[in-house]
């Protein structure tokens, strides 16, 4: 059922491509639609293990949803008309919003003390997904344009969060994990580290045995996107059996995001 438009939470300017649009919301109906999309992608497609409540609701929901901003890519009906459906989403959590819940989601997997000690504004990003029918260049660029505008609006200095490989056997991703460890490890002053109780070694192959081109080509699209923005990877991976993933931590200095957002995604003519 199409959703009815409510006033956006924050104005990011007009970010559109054809009948697709990006905005920020905390509206309960919008959040529920994002949770339904997340359930479809994470549980039905990727094999995450639902709790009985999750299975009954068919929503990927947790306590963070109520305090986060939700960046949505929505599709409006062809030819105009009322309503829209959510086809892409990102969950955004700034430091001041985190204080109402007491921690970041990333805290459950990684020691992010170095990031919390950063003097400027920080932003945790997560729960990113796109509907299977919309996994194309246009939607991914809209997501990045939205994040770029949000970063600018709130003067955010660092973006961080978790990104995932499908499956829970790190050996199946040995070259990719080793590539990230050898070539993209974060500087020590902003480097997250997997919690000792959950730490999984990423250095699974000697540096000289890693095929750089092949490794980058085979990375999950989201991780590849962070690296293209000059992002870094933290030390150690974490196995998330509930979501059937091998997680790594990411950190991006947002001066790189805003520069590339402005030059690469700033013109609607580049969205096709």
153 part of a folded domain: yes
Supply the mean pLDDT for the chain: 89
CA distances from 78 to 81, 89, 133, 239 (A): 8, 21, 16, 42
4 part of a folded domain: no
Identify the residue whose tokens are 């196995």: 239
2 part of a folded domain: no
78/38 Cα distance (integer angstroms): 24
Looking at residue 81, what is its pLDDT? 67
Q: In CATH, what number is assigned to the domain containing residue 71? A: 3.40.630.30
Structure confidence by residue, pLDDT tens digits, 50-76 = 999 999 999 999 999 999 999 999 998
- Cα 114 to the chain's mean position, in Å? 20
Looking at residue 139, what is its pLDDT? 86
CB-based contacts of 184, cutoff 8 Å, min separation 6: 227, 231, 232, 233
Q: What is the mean pLDDT of residues 45-52?
A: 94
Give Rg (Cα) of the chain: 18
33 part of a folded domain: yes
> Three-class SS of residue 16?
strand
| Confidence at 174, pLDDT banded by 50, 70, 90 | very high
Structure confidence by residue, pLDDT tens digits, 101-156 = 999 999 999 999 999 999 999 999 999 999 999 988 788 889 989 999 999 999 99
230 part of a folded domain: yes
| Cβ–Cβ < 8 Å for 85, 2 | yes
Looking at residue 256, what is its pLDDT? 62
Looking at residue 255, what is its pLDDT? 77
E-strand spans in 95-155? 110-111, 121-130
9 part of a folded domain: no
Domain containing 83: what range? 16-270
Tokens of residue 42, six digits: 């994470």
- Total domain count, the chain: 1
User: pTM score, two decimals?
Assistant: 0.89
Structure confidence by residue, pLDDT tens digits, 215-269 = 999 999 889 989 988 999 999 999 999 999 999 999 999 876 655 554 444 433 2
158 part of a folded domain: yes
11 part of a folded domain: no
Structure confidence by residue, pLDDT tens digits, 180-219 = 999 999 999 999 999 999 999 999 999 999 999 999 999 9
Q: Bridge-partner residues for 250, per DSSP?
A: 161, 233
């Amino acid at each position: 059922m199409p959703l009815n438009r409510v006033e956006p939470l924050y104005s990011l300017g007009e970010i559109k491509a054809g009948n697709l649009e990006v905005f920020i919301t905390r509206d309960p109906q919008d959040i529920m639609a994002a949770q339904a999309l997340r359930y479809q992608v994470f549980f039905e497609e990727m094999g995450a293990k639902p709790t009985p409540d999750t299975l009954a609701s068919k929503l990927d929901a947790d306590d963070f949803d109520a305090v986060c901003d939700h960046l949505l890519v929505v599709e409006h009906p062809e030819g105009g008309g009322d309503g829209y459906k959510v086809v892409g989403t990102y969950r955004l959590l700034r430091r001041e919003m985190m204080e109402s819940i007491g921690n970041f989601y990333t805290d459950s997997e990684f020691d992010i003390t170095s990031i919390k000690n950063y003097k400027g504004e920080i932003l945790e990003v997560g729960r990113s997904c796109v509907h299977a029918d919309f996994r194309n260049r246009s939607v991914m660029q809209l997501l990045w344009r939205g994040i770029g505008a949000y970063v600018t609006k709130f003067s955010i200095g660092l973006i961080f969060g978790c990104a995932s490989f499908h499956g829970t056997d790190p050996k199946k991703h040995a070259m990719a994990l080793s590539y990230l460890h050898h070539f993209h490890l974060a500087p020590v002053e902003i480097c997250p580290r997997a919690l000792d109780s959950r730490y999984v070694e990423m250095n699974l192959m000697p540096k000289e045995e890693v095929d750089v081109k092949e490794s980058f080509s085979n990375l999950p699209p989201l991780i590849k996107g962070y690296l293209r923005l000059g992002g870094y990877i933290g030390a150690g991976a974490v196995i998330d059996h509930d979501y059937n993933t091998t997680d790594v931590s990411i950190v991006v200095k947002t001066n790189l995001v805003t520069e590339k957002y402005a030059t690469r995604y700033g013109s609607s003519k580049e969205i096709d």
